[in-house]
A and B are shown apart, each in its own frame.
Chain A
Amino acid sequence: MNIRLDHVSKSFGNVEAVKDVSLSIEDGDFFTLLGPSGCGKTTILRMIAGLEKPDQGKIYIGSLLVNELEPKDRDVGLVFQSYALYPHMSVFQNLAFPLEARGCSRDLIKRKVLETAQLLQIAELLSRKPKQLSGGQQQRVALGRAIVKDAKAFLMDEPLSNLDAKLRIKMRGELKRLQKDLGITTVYVTHDQEEAMTMSDRVTILNRGVIQQISKPIDAYINPVNKWVAGFIGSPAMNFFSCHVKLAGETSFMVVNELGGLQIPYDPKTLSKKLVDGYPLTLGVRPEHMTVTDKPNGLISKARIYVIEPTGEYTIIEIIIENKVYSMKIGTALSYHMGEEIMITFDIHKIYIFDSETGLNLVRR
């Protein structure tokens, strides 16, 4: 079943939670709504479920316009962040609840509940009450409640955020596998960009109710549409350096700021704007493209180590240049000390170029 939103807007009092959002979700897609708290992603999900009504715009589930349709008639499964399991009912009854609402026969209910419980490996918990289950088990019951009714779509509101870190990572893979096996269109809300990257077929990145980018997750990483998306995707966040154009030639251009100047090779055809003298730019460098060196590049050179965070696999070093903090991601087994001064540089072939005023990414990779 595909889902479509056409110019949907929603406000709560003075707050415009969702501003003119249009998106199209293909049948069988794992489609993620990603963004920081308050960006409108949960509101969009609730509007698809029917728990909120859009102020403007149309919502289609399949070819059906569902704006006026009650949640109970939309045939979608909703997994809440807090699970919302019925505490006075057993796991079996929780799973049976949506089927009872439809008036299914006792036998059919029993069969479907057992089937779903086995799929989620919770069959031995059927007689327990929610408060007797672990977080992970509760989460599976919440999932089961959506699966058991063969819904047209699954709507999930940060279902993994209440699990502990190791279980969260394990469940990511399991959820993705499950979704592919069942083939049911899934709309997934999260603020965790790593989750979005690893699980989604496509992702919509939202900020303050406005869609920033809709693309495959890897495209959001490689080709962020603007500075905000570039800083949101990728951890630690991208480093930004303000500067302006000094000279723009055929094969390279020069940028300067108070730290120095740098010649950057480029192909003018890949830029969406012509670079002129004085053009204010923001350069973006991902932490993994910054390195310690003995040959500084002219724009940044000396930095003081602020804090070192070794993870075992890699090391994050936060550095201070001119009272601003930046992040580097380098390999392990390197012995630096906090407070030490080091020389750094970055790979000029991997930088991003943003228009300082609009924030737009000027380069297409």
Chain B
Amino acid sequence: MMKAFFDEVSVELEEAAMVDGYTRMKAFRKVVLPLVAPGLVATSIFTFILSWNEFFFAFMFTSERAKTAPVELMAIVLKETGVEWGVMSAGATLVMLPVLVFSWVIQKHLVKGLAVGSMKG
């Protein structure tokens, strides 16, 4: 996912920084990273959501000691009497909350059109 954002940054910007007096690494840090910041933000939201909601591996590995929320939710909701819909809805809302808060906090760093205007044509 980050590759697409890195590809957006023209290689000439890196080269300009190198001619201006920076090594490849410094040029990366000073020029490329600030420009892919929106990409980093988008990727981190995506990654966070993915791992937060991840069920399969969590179920396999954490049923005993460090149960994740989705795994625990399934455990308390599935009873012999059927699915406890009330608990399920409440639990799902609670599980969604951290993701919503995280995205809301991070969104103001998603600045669009940052790279527009630096290159002609």
Contacts and interface: CB of A to CB of B under 8 A. Distances in A.
Given A88-B34, A102-B21, A80 B16 contact: yes
A50 B13 CA distance: 15
A76 interface: yes
Nearest to A86: B31
Given A80-B12, A84-B13, A88-B34, A72 B121 contact: no
Interface string B66-108: 0000000000000000000000000000000000000000000
B119 to A, nearest CB: 5
A85 interface: yes
B118 A86 contact: yes
A84 B21 contact: no
A101 B16 CA distance: 12
A51 interface: yes
Contacts of B118: 83-87, 130-131
B110 interface: no
Interface in B6-62: 10, 12-13, 15-23, 26, 31, 34-35
B120 A162 contact: yes
A227 interface: no
A101 B115 CA distance: 22
A70 B23 contact: yes
A145 interface: yes
Interface string A323-349: 000000000000000000000000000
Given A86-B31, A88-B35, A49 B117 contact: no
Interface of A: 49-51, 70-72, 74, 76-78, 80, 82-88, 97-98, 101-102, 129-133, 135, 138, 145, 149, 162
16 contacts: A49-B19, A51-B19, A72-B22, A80-B15, A82-B119, A84-B10, A84-B12, A86-B31, A86-B118, A88-B35, A97-B20, A130-B118, A131-B118, A133-B117, A138-B120, A162-B121
Given A84-B15, A87-B116, 18 more contacts: A50-B18, A51-B18, A51-B19, A70-B23, A71-B15, A72-B21, A77-B19, A78-B16, A83-B119, A84-B13, A88-B34, A88-B114, A129-B117, A130-B118, A131-B117, A131-B118, A149-B21, A162-B121
